[in-house]
């Protein structure tokens, strides 16, 4: 009983269902009132002469007036979109109550009218009531509560009036109509069940759809928007800013040392770390823009309507909060972040163009102002243009003809004997003239020709080695791409084998940053080279911010201390640092080579702290092999003379 009452008063109706019911009723109920009005006018008309005026004019006028008023109200009601859930339920209740009241009015009036007129006229009333009730049930099929109320209120007085033992015809009509109404109600309830099921399926489908869309747009690890959503939002923001004449800033944030943390502590902790980074960034950009994770350890943000300065300030704030240590369970992890920012002031076009600009600024931040934000500038624009020119020239370069290898000696500190010569690439482009390796090596990596270039250079370097004394070794530089690319590693090994040169005369130099880029792949390559009998040197040591304990896991024979340490050798602090690094190498039993030695004073200091070898302009600049052979020859001749 209670459930029935709840159902009847729409207390238990589902919001989505109520909305759908209301939508359907908006189409049906006006028809219902139109039907009622037309039928009443017809009955009034046939009874005009038989019944008093108040019965055929005034009462029906009031009833039809109320009906038309409701009709207009229903027709004027706007869509369901603007109504709240509660308002819709309220209207459905009102529809049921008013429907019942109006029905009562009509039925009492019709039964009163049935007392007048001849048999034909009486029959008209009976038909009027029957047809109208059936019509109402049909129109109210999406609100069974109202249909039931209307049916009950109409049929009970109707039956009481017509079913009497004395009049077989009207009794039969009454019972017939009752039967038809009951069947109609049953059919209505059946079809309403179908309607409910349909709406439930639709609601569920919509919910799933929303869920899927959300999943497709969210980065699971951090809960931030993902790349797809972010770029879509950025395009929209761009259009908005353009229309309003505002500036928009696009920032790319890249974590420093994340890879090392991930490799050291494992992927699970790496994931936790990324989630924590996401939380911190979300706080920074909470009311200031939109932040997203683009993938890996790369995040990005946009801000609208801010000047470049404010955007850079915000980006620096992000770098700052990410430099604070992260406490993950028992483990404290310190990483950091650098950021590149580009604004619509400098770059027009698409979100993609802004991203490229920000990414370039980031690249500059990483090689210069690590841990801070760098703003994309016209200077960057010029550089990119010249890089494009170099890249284009590289793509069409005939490597064998245009590339050359210069050699620079590395000597023992103690007696200045030449131990090794380092092969350094030189490129003379027919279009651009000489281009330095600092510029073209990274571009060759980006252009996908590094594999070819490395093999060309190694081939040339190995040929040089044949012209040098037996005890002099060759050092050759491998790029980040080389040591993480299986094909290149295999090709390098086979080239060395085929050259017939003793592998012990070869040193492969890998930079610290290259090793950090993909630690596992780099370590595997290093072990492979080692197994062949080749020595491994860690180049540019001290620039990659890696921890010493981390490097001690690698199979390294020699360490080349970066030039920047030597330039610091002028002051006490710099000297202290240099001696600490040398002491560390000695303790690890690795040969220690100082790069960029330019004066006697530096060399004297290196001797005093026990550094093994050195390289630099003081000894010799890089030179073609013929010059080096001559240089070495004259040194040995000089030694013999002094001896």
Q: Contact positions toward ligand C2E, by CB under 6 A?
A: 408, 423-425, 436-438, 441, 457, 477-479, 509, 539-540, 563, 595-598, 615-617, 622
Of residues 18 and 441, the one with the C-beta less far from Ca ion: 441
Contact between 539 and Ca ion by CB under 5 A: the answer reads yes
Q: Of 377, 499, 394, 527, which is closest to residue 452 (Cα–Cα)?
A: 394
Please tell me the distance from the alpha carbon of residue 568 to that of residue 360, in angstroms, as a whole number.
29
Q: Which does 130 bind (CB under 5 to 8 A by kind): ligand C2E, Ca ion, none?
A: none
Contact 99, 146 (CB under 8 A): yes
Q: Which does 64 bind (CB under 5 to 8 A by kind): ligand C2E, Ca ion, none?
A: none
Instruction: List b or e across 515-541, with b for residues whose CB sees 16 or more CB atoms inside 10 angstroms.
Output: bbbbbebbbebbebbbeeebbbbbbbb
Helices and strands (DSSP H and E) totals, the chain: 26, 16
DSSP string, 125-173: HHHHHHHHHHHHHHHTTT-HHHHHHHHHHHHHHHHHHH--TT-HHHHHH
Of residues 445 and 509, the one with the C-beta less far from Ca ion: 509
Residue 573: exposed, middle, or buried by beta-carbon count in 10 A (0-12, 13-18, 19+)? exposed
Q: Which does 58 bind (CB under 5 to 8 A by kind): Ca ion, ligand C2E, none?
A: none
Strand 418-429 relative to strand 433-435: parallel, antiparallel, unpaired?
antiparallel
Q: How far is the CB of 429 from Ca ion (least distance, A)?
A: 22
Of residues 6 and 599, the one with the C-beta less far from ligand C2E: 599
Q: How far is the CB of 223 from ligand C2E (least distance, A)?
A: 40
Contact between 558 and Ca ion by CB under 5 A: the answer reads no
For 139-286, strand residue ranges (E) read: 248-256
Of residues 181 and 477, the one with the C-beta less far from ligand C2E: 477
Stretch that binds Ca ion, among 222-230, 307-315, 471-479, 567-575 (CB under 5 A): 471-479
Q: Of 543, 471, 535, which is closest to residue 509 (Cα–Cα)?
A: 535
Q: How far is the CB of 308 from ligand C2E (least distance, A)?
A: 33
HSE at residue 362, side-chain half, CA atoms within 13 A, is: 24
DSSP string, 394-419: HHH--HHHHEEEEEEEEEETTT--EE
Q: Which does 596 bind (CB under 5 to 8 A by kind): Ca ion, ligand C2E, none?
A: ligand C2E
Q: Which does 225 bind (CB under 5 to 8 A by kind): ligand C2E, Ca ion, none?
A: none
Classify 310 as helix, strand or coil: helix
Q: Which does 436 bind (CB under 5 to 8 A by kind): ligand C2E, Ca ion, none?
A: ligand C2E
Of residues 222 and 477, the one with the C-beta less far from Ca ion: 477
Number of residue whose CB is nearest ligand C2E: 616
Number of residues forming the site for Ca ion (CB under 5 A):
5
Contact between 482 and Ca ion by CB under 5 A: the answer reads no
Contact between 477 and Ca ion by CB under 5 A: the answer reads yes
Contact 462, 475 (CB under 8 A): no
Q: How far is the CB of 564 from ligand C2E (least distance, A)?
A: 10
- Residue 557: which residues within 8 A CB-CB, separation 6 or more? 507, 535, 536, 537, 590, 591
Stretch that binds Ca ion, among 23-31, 172-180, 443-451, 535-543 (CB under 5 A): 535-543
Q: How far is the CB of 566 from ligand C2E (least distance, A)?
A: 8
Q: How far is the CB of 273 from ligand C2E (least distance, A)?
A: 30
Q: How far is the CB of 507 from ligand C2E (least distance, A)?
A: 12
Contact between 512 and Ca ion by CB under 5 A: the answer reads no
Stretch that binds Ca ion, among 23-31, 48-56, 242-250, 540-548 (CB under 5 A): 540-548
Contact between 509 and Ca ion by CB under 5 A: the answer reads yes
Q: Which does 478 bind (CB under 5 to 8 A by kind): Ca ion, ligand C2E, none?
A: ligand C2E
Q: How far is the CB of 480 from ligand C2E (least distance, A)?
A: 8
Q: Which of 482, 540, 558, 612 is in the footprint of Ca ion by CB under 5 A? A: 540
Contact between 612 and Ca ion by CB under 5 A: the answer reads no
Contact 301, 290 (CB under 8 A): yes
Please tell me the distance from the alpha carbon of residue 86 to that of residue 544, in angstroms, as a whole number.
63
428, β-bridge pairs: 434
Of residues 181 and 479, the one with the C-beta less far from Ca ion: 479
Please tell me the distance from the alpha carbon of residue 109 to that of residue 131, in angstroms, as a whole number.
16
Q: How far is the CB of 539 from ligand C2E (least distance, A)?
A: 5
CA 544, 547, 553, 558 dihedral sign is positive
Q: How far is the CB of 511 from Ca ion (least distance, A)?
A: 7
């Amino acid at each position: 009983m209670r459930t029935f009452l709840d159902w009847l008063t729409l207390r238990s109706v589902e919001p989505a269902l109520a909305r759908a019911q209301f939508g359907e009723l908006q189409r049906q109920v006006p028809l219902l009132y139109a039907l009622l009005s037309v039928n009443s006018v017809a009955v009034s008309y046939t009874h005009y002469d038989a019944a008093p005026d108040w019965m055929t004019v005034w009462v029906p006028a009031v009833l039809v007036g109320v009906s038309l008023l409701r009709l207009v109200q229903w027709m004027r009601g706007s869509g369901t979109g603007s109504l709240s859930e509660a308002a819709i339920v309220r209207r459905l209740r009102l529809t049921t109550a008013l429907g019942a009241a109006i029905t009562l009015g009509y039925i009492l009036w019709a039964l009163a009218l049935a007392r007048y007129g001849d048999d034909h006229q009486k029959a008209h009333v009976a038909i009027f009531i029957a047809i109208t009730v059936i019509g109402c049930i049909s129109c109210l099929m999406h609100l069974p509560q109202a249909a039931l109320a209307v049916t009950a209120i109409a049929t009970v007085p109707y039956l009481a009036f017509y079913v009497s033992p004395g009049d077989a015809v009207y009794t039969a009509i009454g019972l017939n109509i009752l039967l038809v109404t009951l069947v109609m109600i049953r059919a209505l309830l059946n079809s309403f069940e179908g309607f409910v099921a349909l709406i439930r399926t639709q609601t569920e489908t919509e919910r799933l759809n929303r869920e899927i869309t959300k999943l497709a747009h969210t980065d699971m690890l951090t809960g931030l928007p993902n790349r797809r959503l972010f770029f879509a939002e950025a395009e929209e923001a761009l259009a908005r800013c353009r229309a309003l004449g505002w500036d928009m800033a696009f920032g790319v944030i890249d974590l420093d040392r994340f890879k090392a943390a991930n490799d050291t502590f494992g992927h699970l902790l790496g994931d936790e770390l990324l989630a924590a980074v996401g939380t911190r960034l979300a706080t920074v950009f909470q009311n200031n823009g939109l932040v997203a994770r683009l993938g890996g350890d790369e995040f990005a943000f946009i801000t609208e309507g801010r000047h470049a300065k404010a955007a850079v300030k915000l980006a620096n704030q992000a770098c700052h909060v990410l430099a604070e240590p992260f406490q993950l369970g028992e483990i404290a992890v310190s990483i950091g972040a650098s950021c590149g920012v580009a604004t619509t002031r400098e770059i027009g076009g698409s979100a993609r163009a802004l991203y490229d600009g920000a990414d370039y600024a980031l690249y500059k931040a990483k090689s210069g102002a690590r841990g801070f934000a760098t703003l994309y500038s016209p200077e960057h624009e010029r550089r990119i243009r010249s890089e494009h020119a170099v890249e284009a020239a590289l793509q069409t370069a005939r490597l064998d003809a245009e590339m050359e290898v210069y050699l620079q000696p590395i000597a023992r500190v103690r007696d200045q004997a030449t131990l090794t010569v380092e092969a350094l690439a030189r490129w003379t482009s027919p279009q651009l003239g000489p281009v330095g390796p600092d510029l073209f090596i990274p571009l060759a990596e980006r252009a996908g020709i590094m594999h070819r270039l490395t093999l060309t250079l190694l081939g040339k370097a190995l040929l040089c080695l044949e012209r040098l004394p037996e005890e002099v070794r060759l050092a050759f530089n491998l790029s980040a791409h080389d040591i993480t690319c299986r094909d290149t590693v295999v090709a390098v090994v086979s080239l060395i084998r085929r050259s017939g040169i003793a592998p012990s005369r070869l040193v492969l130099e890998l930079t610290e940053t290259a090793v950090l880029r993909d630690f596992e792949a780099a370590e595997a390559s290093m072990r492979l080279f080692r197994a062949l009998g080749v020595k491994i040197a860690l180049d540019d040591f001290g620039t990659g911010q890696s921890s010493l304990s981390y490097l001690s896991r690698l199979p390294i024979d020699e360490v080349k201390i970066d030039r920047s340490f030597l330039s610091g050798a002028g002051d006490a602090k710099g000297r202290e640092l240099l001696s600490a690094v040398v002491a560390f190498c000695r303790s690890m039993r690795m040969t220690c080579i100082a790069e960029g030695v330019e004066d006697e004073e530096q060399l004297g200091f290196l001797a005093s702290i026990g550094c093994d070898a050195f390289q630099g302009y003081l000894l010799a600049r890089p030179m073609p092999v013929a010059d080096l052979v001559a240089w070495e020859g004259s040194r040995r001749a000089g030694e013999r003379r002094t001896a």
